A and B are shown apart, each in its own frame.
Chain A
Amino acid sequence: MSLNVTGEDDRTELTAEQESDLAPIEKRWVQLAKTAGRGESESTLRSLLRTGVPPALRSRVWMAFSGAAAEVQPGMYEQLLAGKNSTRRTTNETQIELDIPRSGILDEATQNRLRRVLRAFAAFRPSCGYVQGQNFIAAGLLRVMHEEDAFWLLAIIVEAYLPDHFTQHMIGSLVDSQVLAELLAKRMPDVAAKLAALEVPVQLLVMRWFLSLWANVLPVPTLLRVYDLLFVLGPHVMPLVGLACFHVMRPTILAAKHADELSASHALQPLREAPPDQIVSAILSAIVTQGATQTVESPALLETTKSVCSETVKRARLGAHEGSDQKGSDPTTAPTDWGVAVRARLEEKRRAKEAALAAESEVRRTMQPQGLLYKEVNTEALERAIASARARDVNAALLNEAQAALDHKLAARLVQRALSHAMEDVTKEQKAQARAAKQFADEAAAEERRVREAMQPRLFGRGIDLMALERALERGRSQEDHKKAADEAASPAS
């Protein structure tokens, strides 16, 4: 490994020689960073994220996936730092000076970098300026990144991850806290009830989670792993990070007898002690169950979330209006052009991804019942599915991978079922049947893969190569006998 962790060279293209020195997993991430993961299914990214982004590639990967790399304007950072003094600038800088020593960073060189990043950002977004919380986020990023990259990523975070959190009335913070509170009530009603009984508002606990993007909450090794998830998968993961934190804090909260046992220094202790893997896997499983639930009860859940959101925004704006005695325009309604453009681009990206995922799930739904696994390809259904997928411009690789993962799971389930029945009945014959079933399943999986490989290039080109399809299916049908054996083994012993 020849890469520098806080790297000077982590912003440039790797030479072929450097790239060939990398471990396979690193090569994979370098490739992913080049396309910002376009065409990769979220499930692939999730499984890669279980082990985290290799430390030397973090900066590169975060920049690419968050969209920050695309926003970099060369020379802008220096220009911002060299800007003219003004009253506003002085106010920001006085505050920054006061906060630098209180940001959890002790060494002077890093403090200097932090100072420059925060000053540049305050100059870049004058309507928002420097607001506490940004210091922790920037300090977190500087543990991994070059200062100019940290600046651009901070800008993306404020714009796309924490919109309206750092504006005058912090509406974004109220909304995000409220949404998380609603989710908590749905997912962990016992925790929500306990907090209500102790009169501890959820907002009180979670505000700093959002405003520091967890930098003031999680220990550094965990923080970096969580940032891997946030930047690679996107802002929609934020409430799930919140749920995962509650999951880890759950025993402490349930055991508390008084509200003061839930002050930050106590309540957050479990998060500080939990191994990073535990928190990462809690987040990933929250994503999975969240996704699974959404397909079942999505309209209701989405409507709830949406109405909570708009209601909260309305309330917040109303409250802000009533309490507003400050002069000047309300920055929440006047984002800069830059912010608007970035949000629009990110929104577009999100929509494209959603469309792709919807198409993918439709393909699955249509194909699954008459699944390839059972050797009777419903060519019509297949064609319909593929046509609809193609209409939505689904990336072939994405589709293929998702399908393979799904079928793999089906095959595995079949094997498992057969084996578990075999375990119940210990007669040799049944064991043999189970083995046959396993063999069948393996062969079926292999055959299916061959079918797909033969079909794939053409399916997504002009049309289906029916000859290849027929040939492949013929081979599959010849294994009909195995299938029967498997079915027998799979049916419960009477």
Chain B
Amino acid sequence: MSYAYLFKYIIIGDTGVGKSCLLLQFTDKRFQQVHDLTIGVEFGARMITIDNKQIKLQIWDTAGQESFRSITRSYYRGAAGALLVYDITRRETFNHLTSWLDDARQHSNSNMTIMLIGNKTDLEHRRAVSFEEGQQFANEHGLIFLETSAKTAANVEEAFINTARRIYEKIQQGVFDVSNESFGIKVGMAAQQTGSVNVSIQGQQRSSSGCC
């Protein structure tokens, strides 16, 4: 199927917070109670529609254990969006957010859109991090924020789509040079046909004036 744009995402966060389950829920609309842990990097894809345009999301799902960080770092670079996930029932996964964020900022392009996600809202009775704390962290660091449940699918669509919408807005504003694939964005056949040449020209001007 042809798309107007392809956005590359990366999902990061501590091990066991539900990164792979979020991806599975988004791409296959199902939940696996017992999901094999992810070794290295996995990926999935799905088509969404924004502003009547077909947008393909290609999502890299990474291993969360500390030892894998030097491997997964190399996947930040080509990503337009990142989902930074913690588990609302395990405080330490929230405490590690700063280190994840440092890593992401250091190794990605500066315009990467980051969505903070507090996952496992279906386990409300075991909650260890309040919604307000998550919201505050997001505000302080300029992130979008949502709480989700990969199990019940609550807010899962929104998490992926709102991130895409933000990236799309940035394209409209000419923040990216979309002809440069290192931003994690690719222009598809559909976009070229509908004449989004403007966007790319705008983008080039921006980038030559030194936005990165």
Q: Is the CB of A132 within 8 A of B15?
A: yes
Q: A95-B15, A104-B36, A323-B73 are in contact. Are A259 and B43 (CB under 8 A)?
A: yes
Q: Chain B 19-49, CB within 8 Å of chain A: the 1/0 string? A: 0000000000000001111011111110000
Q: Chain A 315-345, CB within 8 Å of chain B: the 1/0 string? A: 0000110010000000000000000000000
Which stretch in B63-71, B137-145, B162-170, B191-199 binds the other chain?
B63-71
Q: A98-B15, A169-B70, A323-B70 are in contact. Are A132 and B63 (CB under 8 A)?
A: yes
| Chain A residues, CB < 8 A from B39 | 132-133, 136, 207-208, 211-212, 216
Query: Quick check: is A430 within 8 A (CB to CB) of the other chain?
Result: no
Q: Tell which of B16, B36, B65 has the most Cβ of chain A within 10 Å.
A: B36
Q: Is the CB of B45 within 8 A of A258?
A: yes
Q: Which of A135, A173, A204, A264 contacts B37 (CB 8 A)?
A: A135
Give the residue name and chain of the A residue nearest to B73 (CB): A323
For the complex, give the distance between the alpha carbons of A258 and B67 in Å.
30
Q: Is the CB of B70 within 8 A of A320?
A: yes
B residues in contact (CB < 8 Å) with A: 15-16, 34-37, 39-45, 58, 63, 65, 67-68, 70-71, 73
Q: Which of A98, A131, A260 contacts B43 (CB 8 A)?
A: A260
Query: Quick check: is A102 within 8 A (CB to CB) of the other chain?
Result: yes
Q: A95-B15, A323-B70 are in contact. List 16 more A-B contacts (CB 8 A).
A: A95-B65, A104-B36, A133-B39, A135-B37, A136-B39, A166-B67, A169-B70, A170-B71, A204-B41, A207-B71, A211-B39, A212-B39, A216-B39, A260-B43, A260-B44, A264-B42
For the complex, give the distance between the alpha carbons of A45 and B129 in Å.
58
Q: Is the CB of B40 within 8 A of A208?
A: yes
For the complex, give the distance between the alpha carbons of A99 and B37 in Å.
7
For the complex, give the distance between the alpha carbons of A104 and B35 in Å.
9
| Chain B residues, CB < 8 A from A101 | 34
Q: Is the CB of A131 within 8 A of B67?
A: yes
For the complex, give the distance between the alpha carbons of A133 and B58 in Å.
25
Please give the distance in Å from B23's CB to the nearest CB on chain A.
10
Q: Is the CB of B65 within 8 A of A132?
A: yes
For the complex, give the distance between the alpha carbons of A150 and B58 in Å.
39
Please give the distance in Å from A375's CB to the nearest CB on chain B.
60
A to B CB contacts below 8 Å, 19 in the list: A98-B15, A99-B37, A101-B34, A102-B35, A102-B36, A102-B37, A103-B36, A132-B37, A132-B63, A135-B37, A167-B67, A168-B67, A173-B71, A174-B71, A207-B71, A216-B39, A260-B43, A260-B45, A263-B43
| Chain B residues, CB < 8 A from A166 | 67
Please give the distance in Å from A21's CB to the nearest CB on chain B.
40
For the complex, give the distance between the alpha carbons of A132 and B41 in Å.
13
Please give the distance in Å from A169's CB to the nearest CB on chain B.
5
For the complex, give the distance between the alpha carbons of A131 and B68 in Å.
9
| Chain A residues, CB < 8 A from B67 | 131-132, 166-168, 170
| Chain A residues, CB < 8 A from B68 | 132, 170
Q: Tell which of B15, B68, B70, B71 has the most Cβ of chain A within 10 Å.
A: B70
For the complex, give the distance between the alpha carbons of A95 and B45 in Å.
29
| Chain A residues, CB < 8 A from B16 | 98-99, 102
For the complex, give the distance between the alpha carbons of A99 and B41 in Å.
17
Give the residue name and chain of the B residue nearest to A97 (CB): B16
Please give the distance in Å from B136's CB to the nearest CB on chain A.
26
For the complex, give the distance between the alpha carbons of A319 and B74 in Å.
10
Q: Is the CB of B65 within 8 A of A131?
A: yes
